[in-house]
Amino acid sequence: MKSSYLLLKPIVDKLHRLNTAVQKNLDKAYMSIHSKDYVASMILYSSIASIIVAFILTFGSTTGMEPLHSISSILIGMVADPLSSMGLKPIAAYTLALIVWMVIVSTIVFTILYLYPVYVSSEASRRLESDLIYTLGYMSILYTAGIPVERIFSSLAMVGDAYNIRSSALNVVKSVEFLGRDILDALNEEADRTRSRAYQAFLRGMSTVVRSGGDLKNYMIGFSERVFSRYRDSIEDLTEALDFLSEFYLTLFIVMPIVIVVVA
């Protein structure tokens, strides 16, 4: 990716808003890549994809190789035929059709690469939330043993893979130990970074409790109970949905055929 940026540096450096948006997505996905390197790769890969599709369509439409010839002719015709009917010369319509498909493919690849960090961060948040109840229990045990908040996150950074929270804990540890930030500021920064609303609420509440000198143990226990209650409600909703589907299946595929046979 570094080589992509060196190749496209004059272009990438001018895309300030895109770089900012991409960096935000990369941070939320805990991807250790600079936005300019990633944007350069987005531009390069989408350009390569457009060139490849132009080559494939040109090769396919000018040779008799099936099914490539049929597919290429159909795709080119979808754009070229309406242009030809408007009075455009065949070669011009063909060229414009190639350009249109190059732009379409390039846009698709560019969009996929742009959204990839969003997908990664969403998956990470989903996994984090699924194990949040266990993470809170682990943190409660450590805090009850007299371990300070900083050390709790250091411990999570070491064992966090089991709870899908290692990347988040590492960020907090780096902010405190390497950047010299206060633990409360580090917690708030991590709350801004994560896409998990439950984890975000927990971090902000934890920061508030520590700042106000409240009982952090009771806060963790209370938050754990709320998370557990939410899990229980979601399981009950899933159970009700499965009950409905099973009844629908029985009615549609077992009872209805019997009724039809009896009536007939």
Q: Tokens standing for 1?
A: 């990716």
- Whether residue 114 is predicted with pLDDT greater than 90 in this model: the reply is yes
Cα 160 → chain centroid: 20
Question: What percentage of the chain exceeds 70 in pLDDT?
Answer: 96
Note the pLDDT of residue 113: 93
Contacts of 134 (CB under 8 A, 6+ apart): 163
Q: Which of 58-72, 179-193, 237-251 has the highest mean pLDDT?
A: 179-193
Q: Where are the domains of the chain?
A: 2-121, 131-230
Mean pLDDT, rounded, of the chain:
85
Identify whether the C-beta of residue 164 lies closer than 8 Å to the C-beta of residue 138: no
Q: What is the pLDDT of residues 81-103, one digit of tens each?
A: 887 778 778 888 888 888 999 99
Between 248 and 264, residue with greater pLDDT: 248
Provide the 8-state DSSP code for 45. Answer: H
Whole-angstrom Cα distance, residue 18 to residue 74?
35
- Whether residue 111 is predicted with pLDDT greater than 90 in this model: the reply is yes
- Whether residue 249 is predicted with pLDDT greater than 80 in this model: the reply is no
Q: What is the pLDDT of residues 120-161, one digit of tens each?
A: 988 888 888 888 888 888 888 888 888 888 898 888 888 867
Contacts of 136 (CB under 8 A, 6+ apart): 202, 220, 223, 224, 227
